[in-house]
Amino acid sequence: MTDFDRVKEYYRFFDEKNRLVNSGSGKLEFLMSMELLKRWLPGKGSILDLGGGAGAYSFPLAAEGYKVFLADLSEELIQQAEEQNREVEHPVICNVVNAIDLSLYNDGQFDTVLVMGPLYHLLEASEREQCIAEVNRVLKPGGIVFATFLPYLSGSVGVVERFFGHPNQVDADTIREVFRSGKFSNLTNAGFQEGYYPTSEEIEELFRNHGFSKQQIRSIRGFGWKREEVLFRAQEKDPDMFKVMIDMINETAENKAIVETCGHAVYVGKKA
């Protein structure tokens, strides 16, 4: 079972609020994700940002005119969002919520649900099934779900890289387990604690079994993954070339090899 206390403890110390603005990696993730959201979101309506942290996406979407509900497991992150609410023209509705229990919300309440965090952490198939069943319940017929995940190869190789940077967090059994099952459990209390890394086929099946039809599966940063700092330097020196590279990232982002090996990916689905 997922140790939700470990997950919450990790986010007590990780600067999730500023993750998407403090590095080229975060900036590219935010740029590409917002482009994707604007492409698929309805022109108006209500959005549940499930596992949305301190509201990195909630507040920009609220500023666009959507009614946004921000839900997260972490009391600290929700408190940060509540503090930001006092500073913005378009506040969001904040709730402390576990992604496997959305009983706070009504059936068919939302036009769109963002699941841009929970699937990184839910270790057990039963938990993922429960989460997506709840997403289906609170989403209107024809509604859109956006779900990010860290694909199996990206996640497993990332654990190997973690060994070289933080050998106390990973041992031989950790590496064997993540390649066998897709599950990662940190040996220490420092750094990312627990993770699950599915294949894109597994994600598509998970949502299909709960009444969703796939609209798109793509890598978020595509071949820009691990090249973000160079990309943003190019933006400063040659904006036209930067645009060409972003266009090429988008054109190739659904290539299966890129989806499975280039960091975070996203599933876009529609409820029947």
* Domain membership flag for residue 221: yes
**Are 41 and 166 within one domain?**
no
**Are 8 and 61 within one domain?**
yes
**Are 164 and 38 within one domain?**
no
* Domain membership flag for residue 26: yes
CA distance 11 to 16: 7
- We report the CATH number of the domain holding residue 132 as 3.40.50.150
**Are 60 and 161 within one domain?**
no
Q: What is the pLDDT along the chain (272 residues), one digit of tens a residue?
A: 898 888 888 887 777 778 888 888 999 999 999 999 999 999 999 999 999 999 999 999 999 999 999 999 999 999 999 999 999 999 999 999 999 999 999 999 999 999 999 999 999 999 999 999 999 999 999 999 999 999 999 999 999 999 999 999 999 999 999 999 999 999 999 989 999 999 999 999 999 999 999 999 999 999 999 999 999 999 999 999 999 999 999 999 999 999 999 999 999 999 99
Tokens of 86: 């006092």
**Are 203 and 183 within one domain?**
no
* Long-range contacts formed by 204-211: CB under 8 A, 24+ apart: 204/267, 206/128, 206/129, 206/132, 207/132, 207/145, 207/147, 207/267, 207/269, 209/129, 210/129, 210/132, 210/133, 210/135, 210/136, 211/136, 211/271, 211/272
Total domain count for the chain? 2
Phi and psi dihedrals of 195, rounded to 5?
A: -150, 155
**Are 51 and 31 within one domain?**
yes
**Are 133 and 261 within one domain?**
yes
Looking at residue 103, its pLDDT comes to 98
Provide the CA 117 distance to its chain's centre, in angstroms: 4
**Are 115 and 69 within one domain?**
yes
**Are 188 and 215 within one domain?**
no
**Are 186 and 203 within one domain?**
no
Looking at residue 15, its pLDDT comes to 74
* Domain membership flag for residue 235: no
**Are 124 and 174 within one domain?**
no
**Are 63 and 91 within one domain?**
yes
* Domain membership flag for residue 211: yes
Looking at residue 14, its pLDDT comes to 72
Domain range for 68? 4-151+198-226+253-271
